[in-house]
């Protein structure tokens, strides 16, 4: 039974990891860790922060200690931590020979020069950055199988890359054009720290970080095309819908787009291509690891509209991380991730 440790267990992504792993038939959570400032003598139980786990997982959330984590000999360590924390923790964990799955953005961008602009810090671990594999199984499954350091993709990028990447690879996007990606996310994407803008009576639909969001270069790097990305917050708890507008290259039409997407995803267990007339909705993917995709074209003007929906905490974070863990540990990729307890 593979043993799992989670650092950053008390946040939304950490709790989602726990929820998935408790139902996983081949995973045992052996350690939960949080801020190094926690009281080591009086660690609070995980279920104190998340009462729904009371009686199911009452492990203490201990201050993060690399030697203590290494002593557990976990088969995988998940980092559900801030970017700067992952930056320092990952190299130390790798030094102890541990497999690391990082849910932060600390190792997603291969170009270290982008970090000061988009993340606000200098990237100081070039070797680890170079070794990190971008954990989007639909694109990098082979590399994930042997990776010791896996950078789990961001939620917005997952919702944009999966619709765009097969088309960009096939040459469907008109040269010298940039697809426009408009995405709206539930408030859980902002994290668990309280803020006035996220209060029940304050939250509304609005754009934010326009033309400067840190996920834009991540989409550019892995979608195969540069994009104009605009994120929005929505007054619901979880889920992302992304609507993408793109100009098609000469010779491309609805039938060819459909064939390209079908060929790319016919064997992918977590990408569902919607039937004609059905458009993705957050309620259809909530609490699942699926990405639903639908599209339409105006063949007269070569304009494509393609839409996707994911759960930002599942396929956009914890579920995708467990999908990567399954691949890395040689388990069935869908194990613990299909609805209804299917294996």
Domain boundary assignment for the chain? 3-153+316-341, 155-312
What's the confidence (pLDDT) of residue 342?
46
Length of the chain in terms of residues written: 343
Phi, psi of 272 (to 5 degrees): -115, 125
pLDDT in tens, 34-74: 976 656 667 889 999 899 999 999 999 999 999 999 999 99
Strand 240-247 relative to strand 303-310, pairing: antiparallel
Best CATH choice for the domain 155-312 from the list 3.30.360.10, 3.40.50.720, 3.40.640.10, 3.30.2350.10: 3.30.360.10
Which residues are marked as active site?
A: 155
- Same fold yes or no, 3-153+316-341 and 155-312: no
Q: Environment class of residue 35 by beta-carbon count within 10 Å: exposed (0-12), middle (13-18) or buried (19+)?
A: middle
Residue with tokens 């995980």: 46
Q: What does the alpha-carbon distance between residue 169 and residue 223 come to, in Å, rounded to a whole number? A: 9
* Cβ atoms of 202 and 190 closer than 8 Å: no
What's the confidence (pLDDT) of residue 236?
87
Task: Kindly give the parts of the chain with pLDDT less than 70.
Answer: 36-41, 191-192, 194, 198, 201, 340-343
Q: Determine the Cα angle at 71 with ends 70 and 73, to 5°.
A: 70
What's the confidence (pLDDT) of residue 215?
96
pLDDT in tens, 24-36: 999 999 999 997 6
- CATH 3.30.450.40 at 3-153+316-341, yes or no: no
């Amino acid at each position: 039974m593979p043993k799992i440790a989670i650092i950053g267990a008390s946040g939304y992504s950490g709790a989602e990891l726990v929820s998935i792993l408790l139902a996983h038939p081949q995973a045992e959570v052996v350690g939960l860790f949080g801020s190094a400032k926690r009281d080591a003598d009086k660690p609070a139980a995980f279920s104190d922060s998340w009462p729904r786990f009371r009686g199911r997982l009452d492990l203490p959330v201990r201050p993060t200690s690399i030697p203590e984590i290494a002593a557990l000999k976990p088969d995988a360590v998940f980092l559900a931590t801030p970017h700067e924390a992952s930056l320092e923790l990952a190299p130390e964990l790798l030094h102890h020979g541990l497999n690391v799955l990082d849910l932060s953005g600390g190792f997603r961008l291969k170009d270290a020069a982008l970090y000061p602009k988009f993340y606000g810090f200098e990237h100081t671990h070039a070797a680890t950055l170079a070794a990190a594999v971008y954990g989007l199984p639909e694109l990098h499954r082979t590399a994930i199988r042997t990776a010791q350091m896996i950078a789990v993709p961001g939620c917005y990028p997952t919702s944009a890359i999966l619709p765009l990447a097969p088309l960009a690879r096939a040459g469907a996007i008109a040269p010298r054009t940039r697809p426009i990606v408009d995405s709206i996310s539930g408030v859980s994407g902002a994290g668990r720290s309280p803020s006035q803008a996220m209060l029940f009576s304050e939250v509304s639909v609005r754009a934010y970080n326009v033309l400067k969001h840190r996920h834009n270069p991540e989409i550019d790097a892995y979608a195969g095309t540069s994009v104009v990305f605009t994120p929005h917050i929505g007054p619901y708890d979880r889920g992302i819908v992304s609507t993408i507008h793109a100009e098609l290259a000469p010779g491309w039409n609805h039938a060819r787009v459909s064939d390209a997407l079908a060929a790319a995803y016919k064997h992918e267990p977590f990408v569902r291509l919607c039937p004609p007339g059905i458009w993705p909705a957050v309620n259809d993917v909530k609490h699942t690891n699926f990405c639903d995709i639908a599209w339409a074209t105006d063949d007269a003007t070569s304009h494509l509209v393609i839409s996707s929906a994911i759960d930002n905490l599942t396929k956009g974070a914890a579920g995708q991380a467990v999908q990567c863990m399954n691949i890395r540990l040689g388990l069935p990729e869908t194990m613990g991730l299909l609805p209804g307890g299917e294996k």
